[in-house]
Copies of this chain bind each other. A is one copy, B any other.
Amino acid sequence: MTIKDLAKKTGYGVATVSRVLNGQPSVSETARSVILRAAEESGFQLNSNAKQLKQQRSNAILVVVKGRANELFSELLEYVQGMADQAHYPLHVDYMEESLNEVQRAVQLCREMKPLGLLFLGGDSQNFISGFHSIDVPSVLVTNDASDLNFPNLSSVCTDNRQASRAAMDSMVALGHRNFAIVGGYKETSTTSLLRYQGCMDSLSSHNISFDEEQSYRGVLFSYENGYAAAKELVESGCKFSALFAAADVMAIGAIRALRDCGLRVPEDVSVMGFDGLPLGSYLVPQLSTVRQSVFEMARISMDMLISQITEGAPARHIFVPFTLWQRESTRAI
């Protein structure tokens, strides 16, 4: 069943059928209803390959999501989806392996889909530097700062990772903690991980707290498992600490279990603070203390900026969205 069959069946030409199916204006009401009914009856759907191949521009927004198991992105996406619906932009979501190049992927998809705009959920600066020049549609990078990259069509919206992790550490210092362990990311390869690390150091040095990185910092890929392993190793290596900061909630969760397996209770023996503010954290016992990223705000601002770039040619902007410290049950004063 193709558009041709529908044309034959209704007695109209393919052009009219196409116009109707795409909701274009200059079609008679008769034609519209006849064709829509026929399409309905036969359950006809446009072939998007042919459509996209021929189409000069679609009116969809393309979302490129880096990594499929990221709960923060899932949450972001839910809001973004709602906002796109409300603004009547079809949303096309493309999930990709975290290890692949999201900009290359976007370039390919732009050629194929010709979207109005691009939303990146997660991204790596290096990939943008080396490949974003061949993207010419309005874009927004979410959860990473792109102000240094200076692309006229690339905005960014994120939490100030450095300030946020500094604030997290400050709050634990305020609770009386002086001996810290930190489970972070690979600061050599991930900008986000580096910034969160630097924020920690900012806090420690401003309070004149010494920190032996070799002994008290572990950099791993964000996961329950790695959080567990890192925390266990910290304890077993003899590192003494009353507070542990994990640069992601998933690692904090793994870490808490590791501490428990080492005979340490949270928060009685060790306070643990995470980063992200995943919904899951509020159902844990103890509820996870964490730096809550303002997911809804990030989604809202991203979509607003993207849409104004698309419709009004607004210039690229770079925004830090406020975060919130959630002192809950996994931290305590000593």
Contact = CB atoms under 8 A, between A and B. Distances in A.
A112 to B, nearest CB: 5
Nearest to A266: B285
Interface residues of A, number: 35
A49 B45 contact: no
A122 B49 CA distance: 26
Contacts of A266: 285
Contacts of A280: 224, 253, 280
Given A50-B53, A95-B93, A108 B256 contact: no
Given A74-B69, A95-B95, A260 B285 contact: yes
Contacts of A49: 48-50, 52-53, 112
A111 interface: yes
A94 to B, nearest CB: 10
19 contacts: A43-B104, A45-B108, A47-B53, A47-B111, A48-B49, A49-B49, A49-B50, A49-B52, A49-B112, A53-B53, A68-B74, A68-B77, A69-B71, A93-B95, A224-B280, A253-B283, A257-B282, A257-B287, A266-B285
Given A95-B95, A280-B280, 20 more contacts: A43-B104, A45-B108, A45-B111, A47-B53, A47-B112, A48-B112, A49-B50, A49-B112, A53-B53, A68-B77, A69-B71, A69-B74, A224-B283, A253-B280, A253-B283, A254-B283, A256-B283, A257-B282, A260-B285, A266-B285
